Amino acid sequence: MPESWATLGVDLHLEPTGSGGLRRGLTDALRDAVRTGRLAPGTRLPSSRSLATDLGIARNTVAEAYADLVAEGWLTARQGSGTRVAERAAVQPSRTARRTEAAPRPGAPARPAYSLLPGSPDLAAFPRAAWLKAARRALAIAPHDSLGYGDPRGRPELRTALAGYLARVRGVRTDPERVLITSGFTHALRIIGPVLAARGVRTVAVESYGLGVYRNLLQQAGLATPPLSYDELGTDPRELGEAGAALLTPAHQFPMGTSLHPDRRAAVVDWARRTGGLILEDDYDGEFRYDRQPVGALQGLDPDRVIYFGTASKSLAPGLRLGWMVLPPSLAQEAAAIKGTTDTVGVLEQLTLAEFLTSGAYDRHVRSSRLRYRRRRDALAEAVTARAPEVTVTGISAGLHAVLRLPPGLEQSVIQAATWQSLALHGLSLYRHPEAVAEQVDALVVGYATPPDSAWAGALEALCRVLP
């Protein structure tokens, strides 16, 4: 083992092996690293002095190994530019690497040309310049201790910025102490499931339509997830009964697109107060309301009974993996303890989002996105009404998707026709709770925010072609 590590140069993991002496062992290890692609063409190797220090061997041994590999053509050595992996050292992926690559399988369908799958904003419209500006500033002013493990709830800068933003925009009542940063809603559910189970909750009632992955996460914590009925007023809270909690999307039901009727909002809160139940409010696209002011968060009606969940996956990009929870005082500590300090979100992303919020860039981005998506929504509604009069466009007052109701029995054939048009499309049946009692509705869930601008017109045209 080396006694000390060189402080200059790059790190290089090598394990000189074999019984042919140090020089031979090192030469073999380096050659192998180049041949297998671990050292890419052009990579600058550490100086012989620093590698010798790292490996605890004589500098001459390293210099000789480098010279051998230069002679063999694996490395190049030039005055002033050091020793590098030769550009022509062709990297052959190993057999195992080749097998695990995502190469198209023979006969596998090609990637669709267009996607109207729900769940994503237009990733091409991510505000790169503004995000970069926020990231630079955030890093420049970050205190040294922000780079430590820190508070399990997340950086105070972001919790403070979110508490202010959510109060202003969504009517959420909180202080930064009760905000917990997560890597998205999925992560938040993974934290909250065990918190609920530890409090003796056995059942979390869910909506008749929703994402199975969320039900599964709750089930993994030992919770039952029976469906609540759904009608034109939204989810019916009368069946909540003995459930310990309910998972709802009150502002914009996912995927049906309705907002919970005011009477039902009141009834849900009433149920929670009466029974001690908890409401898990998934406010996944609360910023995107088009026809009037957004319906405020349910949390504002009773911060002691509602756990509020938000995400940057719709307003910015799902790949950021940034979300947040606002917890009732009685749960804040437990949730932070379950989350811990290592199961967290990178601090630079957190600080960047904090800066993005406080500088006003988030508001600007949401406002301009809202305008773009609203135009797309209008174009979608207009095109479908004109070209497919048997189809009804619903759920469009908010969000990034619409539900297109089809004549009975046509969902699967339209999805099949979309595949032939190279259009990725989801039917509503994918989102139906397996035990839902509501009448089966044939419909499409159309994510109109998903395509980049360049593909939007083509995607809309492909959609219109497959509609009855």
Ligand X SMILES: Cc1ncc(COP(=O)(O)O)c(C=O)c1O
- Closer by beta carbon to ligand X, 318 or else 451: 318
Distance in Å, CB of 268 to ligand X, minimum:
17
Residue 288 contacts ligand X per CB under 6 A: no
**184 belongs to the binding site for ligand X (CB under 6 A):** yes
Q: How far is the CB of 271 from ligand X (least distance, A)?
A: 21
Distance CA 61, CA 41 (A): 23
In the complex with ligand X, the residue whose CB is nearer, 196 or 322, is: 322
Q: Does 249 bind ligand X (CB under 6 A)?
A: yes
The alpha carbon of residue 110 and the mean position of all alpha carbons in its chain are separated, in whole angstroms, by 24
Nearer to ligand X, 25 or 184 (CB): 184
Q: How far is CA 391 from CA 383, 439, 442, in A?
A: 11, 18, 10
Q: Does 284 bind ligand X (CB under 6 A)?
A: yes
- In sign, the C-alpha dihedral spanning 14, 18, 22, 28 is negative
- 30-38, 256-264, 311-319, 449-457 -> range binding ligand X (CB under 6 A): 311-319
C-beta of 247 vs 278, nearer to ligand X: 247
Q: Does 254 bind ligand X (CB under 6 A)?
A: yes
* Binding-site string for ligand X from residue 323 to residue 352, where x marks contact by CB under 6 A and - marks none: x-----------------------------
Instruction: Give me the least distance between CB of 9 and ligand X, in Å please.
Output: 40
- 318 binds ligand X, rule: CB under 6 A: yes
Structure tokens at 433: 């709770």
Q: Which stretch binds ligand X (CB under 6 A): 38-46, 83-91, 136-144, 178-186?
A: 178-186
Give the shortest CB-422-to-ligand X separation in angstroms. 23
Contact status: 119 vs ligand X (CB under 6 A): yes
CA dist 19 → 25, 26, 29, 59 (Å):
7, 11, 13, 20
Contact 422, 109 (CB under 8 A): no
Nearest to 448 by CA among 326, 314, 353: 314
Does 282 bind ligand X (CB under 6 A)? Our answer is yes
Please report whether residue 311 would count as binding ligand X according to CB under 6 A. Answer: yes
Under the binding rule (CB under 6 A), the answer on residue 356 touching ligand X is: no
CB of 341 to ligand X, least distance (A): 21
Q: Of 105-113, 183-191, 238-246, 435-443, which segment contacts ligand X by CB under 6 A?
A: 183-191
Is residue 121 close enough to count as binding ligand X by CB under 6 A?
no
CB 443 within 8 A of CB 405: yes
Q: How far is the CB of 182 from ligand X (least distance, A)?
A: 8
* Candidate list 43, 146, 186, 358; residue touching ligand X; CB under 6 A: 186
Cβ atoms within 10 Å, residue 1: 4
The residue among 185 and 308 lying less far from ligand X, judged by its C-beta, is 185
Close Cβ partners of 199 (under 8 Å, ≥ 6 residues apart):
244
Place of tokens 């759920």: 395
Q: Which stretch binds ligand X (CB under 6 A): 184-192, 289-297, 367-375, 430-438?
A: 184-192
Q: Which lies closer to ligand X via its Cβ, residue 316 or residue 466?
A: 316
Binding mask 193-212 for ligand X (x = CB under 6 A): ------------------x-
**Least Å distance between CB 70 and ligand X?**
50
Candidate segments 13-21, 145-153, 181-189, 441-449, binder of ligand X by CB under 6 A: 181-189
Write down the least CB distance from residue 324 to ligand X, Å.
9
- Chain residue at closest Cβ approach to ligand X: 184
Answer whether 318's CB lies under 8 Å from 449's CB: no
- Amino acid sitting at position 356: F
Where on the chain is the footprint of ligand X (CB under 6 A)? Answer: 119, 184-186, 211, 249, 254, 282, 284, 311, 313, 318, 323
